[in-house]
A and B are shown apart, each in its own frame.
Chain A
């Protein structure tokens, strides 16, 4: 890591710079990949909340396995899918730290489904950044549980066929019905407007932890232009035209909205499907 300094010309001000919580290195991500945007948003939120020196990040397995090189905070690298369990261990020992996991869809939505569901079930005060790009990126473009019906991957030649390979898994919808989840939202990294909304959601997912409200999870619809075999621009458009209809954007659970209701009854009733649908409707509207 090299540090560079410039003499800033008088009369100018810095309007854009590397967040303090990112290291000054070139990442290994492919051209057109949205991991860089997601990293930056997380780092900006850590800076703005002034929690860099309290933050502990859990890197997962997949393209973001090297996240520990990019976040300038204490980091642990976890086994495939186990980041929420590792995060639980850290947070229980050090409740004063701010613990976040950064996991892809191969990691969180396949091998790590038990760990994420039960971290939410226990209401762990953790922040989960979930990158959904509908594919296993690092291993070379295999089908993920999030792969769209008909989407071609190296293990779904001719496209994902539901009869044999099932249907896309909607994590936010699953997690939001668990009483231990405080904040659950899905946003897309496909346009400046949606990126701004994504940042807001990430901030809220950290605030849920800071207020000890339970699990905060943000799913970020992301592109993988190399494995999708598209140009970066087409890949961003594909998020909006193909992924968003399957993975609707919005806030699925927000403790600040459900707060009054939850506070009045210590034992919350089991959230049914209709409850989740209502919330989704509210968020979309």
Chain B
């Protein structure tokens, strides 16, 4: 198949990438700013023998995903912040019962009903599991439509490989922006690795069970230990980050839409002769600690920039471990920081050095 560049809106490109990754089932509920995903899926999935279900709630949609993933399909749901809060019940069950599936959060301003402008204030919820219990989900924070498209297939592959829910965190801007993308070649869902654990009817085999109830405490602890072993493997093998200008004296740390703005600010700072690079986490969980080790070989300080009042900065501090000062700059509630604001913060970091710690 000829791979041509097409101009697509982020939400629609993500949806098409999911179809091409073999996703045939979508369960969702309308909420801005992600409505183009269910709208696209409602026309596209029937064309490829799939099904779109508009659920009665976010809670129902995530539980449909639990059922569809449990039955062995590549399936997904998408929403935005308030809807993602409602999905946490099902995500916790999926993590515990080891059911794969993709959840997309086109984050908007919060808390509460918040607004509909871009935000990154669901970082804690996404990277700490989000629901009840001791679990994590793999979380991607793409910065461009192309990267988002490329990560969709990887998200489904990792969800299946590790039997765990995977989250893609975008934001209102990434969902709405139009950019040229090269779409991946389609995957035939019938040719994906078999899932002998799925509940498909016990024809000629012993019944399968998908379950998260463990009434005996020791049994429940055993489940948690097994999950933790899996998470350790994911931490070791699945970290993704980009370092722009390695070897710099200072690093701006940002992901998603904010990283695009910071990339520009870093470029301007370098034109002024400042030795600044960009450390861009692509996996938000596992957090790319190895990239920080690399940056710390030269880094004298870090500036974390987020569209929140400081969430990822906790992980930056944990990764840096006191070996360099970590500053923070954030806008929130749907306000997108400008490159000029970030540039001002970079200048301050370089001028003040250790004093900004």
Q: Which residues of A are at the interface with B, using a C-beta cutoff of 8 A? A: 52-56, 58-59, 65-66, 68, 71-79, 82, 85-94, 96-98, 114-115, 117-118, 121-122
Contact yes or no, A54 B213, CB < 8 A: no
Chain B residue at smallest Cβ distance from A71: B207
Which residues of chain B have C-beta atoms less than 8 A from A90's C-beta?
Answer: 67-68, 70-71, 199
A-B contacts besides A85-B59, A86-B63, 14 pairs, CB < 8 Å: A53-B202, A53-B203, A56-B199, A56-B200, A71-B207, A77-B211, A85-B63, A86-B67, A89-B66, A92-B51, A93-B51, A97-B71, A117-B56, A121-B56
Chain A to chain B contacts (Cβ below 8 Å), 5 pairs: A74-B199, A78-B67, A85-B64, A90-B70, A97-B71
Given contact pairs A77-B97, A85-B67, A93 touches B72 in the complex (Cβ within 8 A) = yes
B 283-295 binary contact with A (CB < 8 Å = 1; else 0)? 0000000000000
Which residues of chain B have C-beta atoms less than 8 A from A85's C-beta?
Answer: 55, 59-61, 63-64, 66-67
Q: Is the interface of B mostly helix, strand, loop or mixed?
A: mixed
* Any A CB within 8 A of the CB of B318: no
* Chain A to chain B: the 8 pairs with minimum beta-carbon distance, closest first: A89-B67, A85-B63, A118-B56, A89-B68, A86-B67, A89-B64, A74-B199, A82-B63
- In the bound assembly, the distance between CA atoms of A54 and B71 in angstroms comes to 12
B 335-352 binary contact with A (CB < 8 Å = 1; else 0)? 000000000000000000
Which residues of chain B have C-beta atoms less than 8 A from A91's C-beta?
Answer: 67
Chain A residue at smallest Cβ distance from B64: A89
Nearest-neighbour CB distance to chain A for B223, whole angstroms, equals 13
Which residues of chain B have C-beta atoms less than 8 A from A118's C-beta?
Answer: 55-56, 60
Number of A-B residue pairs, CB cutoff 8 Å, is 139
Chain A residue at smallest Cβ distance from B202: A74
- In the bound assembly, the distance between CA atoms of A204 and B42 in angstroms comes to 33
Which residues of chain A have C-beta atoms less than 8 A from B126's C-beta?
Answer: none
Q: Which of B53, B65, B71 contacts A94 (CB 8 A)?
A: B71
- In the bound assembly, the distance between CA atoms of A122 and B60 in angstroms comes to 13
Contact yes or no, B202 A76, CB < 8 A: no
Contact yes or no, B66 A78, CB < 8 A: yes
Q: Which of B60, B65, B71, B204 contacts A56 (CB 8 A)?
A: B71
Contact yes or no, A79 B93, CB < 8 A: yes
Which residues of chain B have C-beta atoms less than 8 A from A58's C-beta?
Answer: 67
Which residues of chain B have C-beta atoms less than 8 A from A88's C-beta?
Answer: 53, 60, 64, 67
- In the bound assembly, the distance between CA atoms of A79 and B27 in angstroms comes to 17
Contact yes or no, B210 A77, CB < 8 A: yes
Given contact pairs A76-B210, A89-B68, A115-B56, A82 touches B90 in the complex (Cβ within 8 A) = yes
